[in-house]
Structure 1
Amino acid sequence: MTSIAKYLILSLPQSTNAQSWLENDLSGGKNLLYKLKLQDFQSGTLDSLVQESEELSKIDSQLSSSVYKVIDILNNVTELKNSKSRIINNQSIFDYIEHFNWNSSKYRLDKPINQLVQIISNEAITLDNDVRQSYQNYQSAKSNFLAADRKKNGDLSIKSLHEIVKPDQFVLNSEHLTTILIAVPKNLVDDWNSHYETLTEFVIPRSSELIASDAEYSLFSVTLFKKYQNDFITASRERKWHPRNDFQYNEDVLNSLRKEFDLTKQTEIKLKNDLIRLSKTAYSDIFQAWLHIKIIRVYVESVLRYGLPPQFNYYLIKFDQANLKNLSKSKKELIDKFGYLGGSGSDDKKNSSNLHEYASLVDTEYEPFVLYELDIV
């Protein structure tokens, strides 16, 4: 998927006094900067935070995949292919991110971090499973409708013939005779007329009747003795004609086929509408869960990098389509400016020394400060 915008979520110790530099000097001041206001979490022990850090990394990746999967589904079943048309909690996605407020009524901050993570992730994963099941049901209904549509609107070699044939075109209720239908390619009609009577024994002479034609085929009926029906069908295929031996004239079957198209169409439309409604709701809820997990992750990594008490500032740096090309350059500038933090920005040197052993465990893509990307597609 193509990115429409990216955000860098950055955490720095308050002692860096970074805001002025981020606003005016990073990439020449071309990036939009937002300051995130976050409450403190119930931290627990450093050992528990290291363990939670590993879990958060997995959940972050999982919810990212869930969000992109829902977007992919919406793109497949609607015309809403622009991120600006997606709504998060009754706001545009950009307003929601840039004015983020922790949902304390839903995710109470008096709970330990590990409980918060479990509550948020379980909700999102349940929704993700619901969307995937709904999409599977819709795909099945769509396949059934397309099959019914081919029967109704395909060429004469595959379409349902219940609206084409009439009872008087068949020999019915005969002990020995049967009427079968053959779809003959247009370029082989002369071959049909020349050879159908002698294709097998006991074909009724001059029994061929042209029933219908389309751009590709002419549909003929022919009457013969039942005993030679299979031989006639086999010989027809050898001449590249298309026997419609799937069709038997039966009023009950015909009535059922007449209803099939309408029923599969109604089912496909209903399940599509259900899927769209669920996917839009799920997109909003899973994205909110994903951003809340991202925020917890930033907090946990900040504690592991910079120490306690939590004295950090959180920033969002926006890269829209016009300045996405500045992303790598901005990252390099950030490292040049704040690389001295080296995993420990606390003024408490003793605390920093104790944390350094954790810092190398925090992230496989280790930076000298806390930095994560949020990709909007």
Structure 2
Amino acid sequence: MTSIAKYLILSLPQSTNAQGWLQNELNGGKTNLYKLNLQDFQSGTLDSLVQESEELSKIDTQLSSSVSKVIDILNNVTDSNQSKTRIINNQSIYDYIERFNWNSSKYRLDKPISQLVSIISNEAVAFDNDVRAAYQTYQTAKSNFLAADRKKNGDLSIKSLHEIVKPEQFVLNSEHLITILIAVPKNLVDDWNSHYETLTEFVIPRSSELIASDSEYSLFSVTLFKKYQNDFINASRERKWHPRNDFQYNEEILNNLRKEFDLTKQTEFKLKNDLIRLSKTAYSDIFQAWLHIKIIRVYVESVLRYGLPPQFNYYLIKFDQANLKNLSKSRKELIDKFGYLGGSGSDDKKSSTATNSLQEYASLVDTEYEPFVLYEIDIV
């Protein structure tokens, strides 16, 4: 799935005084930089943060996948231009990210990190499950509608014949005779006319009647003794004619078929609209949950990198379509500039020993370890 924008969330110790360099030097001063003002969390113990780091990594990946899945569903069921609209909490996704405020009414900061993570992730997973279930229900309804549509609008070898045939074209209520229908390819009509009477025994002479034609087939009726019906059908297939032995003239069945198309169309239309509304709501809520999880992850990793007390600055760097190509270059510039940190944001030798020990934890729990905290948000 193609990215339409990417953001880097960067956390650096306050002692780096990094904002001026990020604003004026990174990517030649052409970077869209935003300052994130975040509150502190209930940190807990170092061991608990290590455990949370492992869990946050998994949830981050899971919710990223959920966001992409919802986008895939919207792309499948809406106009492509419509599906590119990204609305989060009644605002554009860019405004939501760049003006991010922690939702303290839903996720109270007096709760331990472990509780916040559980509340946020469970809510997002519930939405994800709802969308997947609704999509499966819609897919079933769509399949039913397509099958009904083929019956209504397909060629004469497969379409429903309830709007085509008339009762007077059939021998009805006979003990011995039956009228069957054969769809004959246009290039085999002469073959039909020459051979249908002798295809089996006891075919009623001159009983063939042309019922309808389309661009590929001509539909004929023929009357014969019921005893030889299966023989006639098998012999027809051998001559590459298409018996419509799925069709029997029955008023009740025909009435049900007339209703089937309209019912499946209405059901598909309703479930599609329900799915679109649910998916848009779920996208907004799952993305909000994902960003909150990402923020917690940045905080936890900052503590593991830089130590306590939490004295970090958080930055948001935007790469839109115009400068996505500069993302890798900018990451390298960040490493060149701040690689010296190595996990210690202080010049104090005493704190250096403590934070270096934190680095051992951090390098264990973060497989993409860098000397500072840096995560991507991929907008697809």
TM range (shorter): over 0.9
Which residue is 2:356 aligned to? 353
- Alpha-carbon separation, structure 2, partners of 1:83 and 1:113: 34
Deviations 1:77-118 (CA, angstroms, capped at 9, x unpaired): 111546762210011000000000000000000000000000
Matched-pair contact (CA < 8 Å) for 2:50–2:362: no
Which residue is 2:49 aligned to? 49
- Alpha-carbon separation, structure 1, partners of 2:310 and 2:49: 14
Deviations 1:319-352 (CA, angstroms, capped at 9, x unpaired): 0111011001000000000000112224422321
Structure 2's unaligned 5+ residue stretches are none
Which residue is 2:365 aligned to? 362
User: Are 2:298 and 1:295 equivalent residues in the alignment?
Assistant: no
- Alpha-carbon separation, structure 1, partners of 2:365 and 2:253: 66
Question: In percent, how many aligned pairs have the same letter?
Answer: 89
- Alpha-carbon separation, structure 2, partners of 1:353 and 1:94: 36
Matched-pair contact (CA < 8 Å) for 2:343–2:356: no
- Alpha-carbon separation, structure 1, partners of 2:166 and 2:288: 60
Amino acid at match of 1:323: N
Which residue is 1:374 aligned to? 377
Amino acid at match of 1:107: Y
Matched-pair contact (CA < 8 Å) for 1:12–1:312: yes
Q: TM-score, normalised by structure 1?
A: 0.99
Q: State the Cα distance separating 1:362 from its structure 2 match.
A: 3.0
Which residue is 2:106 aligned to? 106
Structure 2 counterparts to residues 183-222 of structure 1, below 5 A: 183-222=183-222
Q: State the Cα distance separating 1:360 from its structure 2 match.
A: 1.4
- Alpha-carbon separation, structure 2, partners of 1:114 and 1:200: 79
Q: State the Cα distance separating 1:359 from its structure 2 match.
A: 2.3
Matched-pair contact (CA < 8 Å) for 2:6–2:376: yes
Matched-pair contact (CA < 8 Å) for 2:74–2:83: no
Matched-pair contact (CA < 8 Å) for 1:304–1:362: no
- Alpha-carbon separation, structure 2, partners of 1:189 and 1:221: 13
Amino acid at match of 1:217: Y
Structure 2 counterparts to residues 18-97 of structure 1, below 5 A: 18-81=18-81, 85-97=85-97
Deviations 1:148-207 (CA, angstroms, capped at 9, x unpaired): 000000000000000000000000000000000000000000000000000000000000
Which residue is 1:173 aligned to? 173
Structure 1's unaligned 5+ residue stretches are none
* Secondary structure of 2:204's aligned partner: coil
Structure 1 runs, 4 residues or longer, greater than 4 Å off: 80-84
* Secondary structure of 2:262's aligned partner: helix
Q: TM-score, normalised by structure 2?
A: 0.98
Amino acid at match of 2:357: N
Which residue is 1:6 aligned to? 6
* Secondary structure of 1:85's aligned partner: coil
Which residue is 1:262 aligned to? 262
Which residue is 2:146 aligned to? 146
Amino acid at match of 2:113: I
- Alpha-carbon separation, structure 2, partners of 1:76 and 1:30: 36
Greater Cα offset, 174-183 or 71-80: 71-80
* Structure 2 CA distance for partners of 1:84 and 1:28, relative to 1, 3 Å: farther
Q: How many residues align?
A: 377
Matched-pair contact (CA < 8 Å) for 2:42–2:109: yes
User: Are 2:182 and 1:182 equivalent residues in the alignment?
Assistant: yes
* Structure 2 CA distance for partners of 1:374 and 1:264, relative to 1, 3 Å: same
- Alpha-carbon separation, structure 2, partners of 1:164 and 1:293: 60
Coordinate RMSD, CA, aligned: 1.0
- Alpha-carbon separation, structure 2, partners of 1:72 and 1:195: 54
Q: State the Cα distance separating 1:358 from its structure 2 match.
A: 1.1
